[in-house]
Structure 1
Amino acid sequence: MPISMHPDEWRDRWKQNRIGFHEPTVNPYLCRYLPEFNLNQGDTIFLPLCGKAHDIAWLAQQGFQVVGIELSEIAIVSFFSEHGLTYQQSESKRFILRKSGNISLIQGDYFDLQRQDLSACKMVYDRASLIAIDAASRGRYCTHMLSIIPQITDQLLITLDYDQAQMKGPPYAVSTSEVGQHYNSEYSINRLEQNDVLDERPRWRDQGLTRLTETVFILNGKKA
Structure 2
Amino acid sequence: MEPDFWLQKWQDKEIAFHQVAGNPLLVKNFNALLLAPGSRVFVPLCGKTGDIAWLLANGYRVVGAELSNIAVEELFAELSFKLSAEWGITPTVSSVGKLQQYIAVNIDIFVGNIFDLTADMLGAVDAIYDRAALVALPADMRPAYTRHLIKISHCVQQLVICFDYEQALLAGPPFAINANEMQQHYASAYQLGCIDSAEVVGGLKRKCPAEEQVWLLVNK
- TM-score, normalised relative to structure 2: 0.91
Which residue type is aligned with residue 204 of structure 1? R
Per-residue CA distance 1:112-167 (angstroms, 9 max, x = gap):
1111123311100000110001111111111111111123x111001101111111
Q: In the TM superposition, what is the alpha-carbon distance from 1:100 to its structure 2 partner?
A: 1.2
| Partner of residue 211, structure 2 | 213
Instruction: Give, in angstroms, the shift of residue 198 of structure 1.
Output: 4.7
- Structure 1's unaligned 5+ residue stretches are none
CA RMSD of aligned residues (A): 1.4
What secondary structure is seen at the aligned counterpart in 2 of 1:135?
coil
For the pair 1:25 / 2:21, whether they are aligned, the reply is yes
Indicate which of 135, 139, 159 corresponds to 1:156: 159
Query: Does the CA contact (< 8 Å) of 1:44 and 1:123 recur in 2?
Result: yes
Residue in structure 2 matching 1:120, options 121, 124, 133: 124
8 A Cα contact 1:60 1:66, kept in partner = yes
Distance 1:31 1:125 in 2: 12
> Counterparts of 1:46 and 1:122 in 2: how far apart (Å)?
8
Whether the aligned pair in 2 keeps the contact of 1:115 and 1:147 (CA below 8 Å) is yes
In structure 2, what residue type is equivalent to 1:181? Answer: Q
CA distance in 2, matches of 1:93, 1:110: 12
Query: Which residue pairs with 1:49 in the alignment?
Result: 45
For 2:30 and 2:164, locate their aligned partners in 1 and report how far apart those are by CA, in whole Å.
23
> With structure 1 as the length reference, what TM-score do the two structures score?
0.90
The answer to whether 1:131 aligns with 2:129 is no
Q: Are the aligned partners of 2:93 and 2:102 in contact in 1 as well (CA < 8 Å)?
A: yes
Shift of 1:102: 0.3
Match of 1:36 among 28, 32, 35: 32
Partner in structure 2 of residue 13 of structure 1: 9
The number of residue pairs the alignment matches comes to 212
Q: SS in structure 2 opposite 1:105?
A: strand
Q: Which runs of 5+ in 2 are unaligned?
A: 81-87
The amino acid that maps onto 1:54 is G
Q: CA deviation at 1:69?
A: 0.4
Instruction: State the match for 2:198 in structure 1.
Output: 195
Identity %: 36
Q: Which amino acid aligns with 2:10?
A: W
Cα offsets for 1:56-105 (capped at 9, x unmatched): 12211222220000010100000111122321111123211111100101
Q: Could you tell me whether the CA contact under 8 Å between 2:99 and 2:117 is conserved in 1?
A: no
Q: 1: distance between equivalents of 2:22 and 2:106?
A: 18
Displacement, 1:200?
A: 5.2
1:204 to 203, 206, 213: 206
2:108 is aligned with 1:104: yes
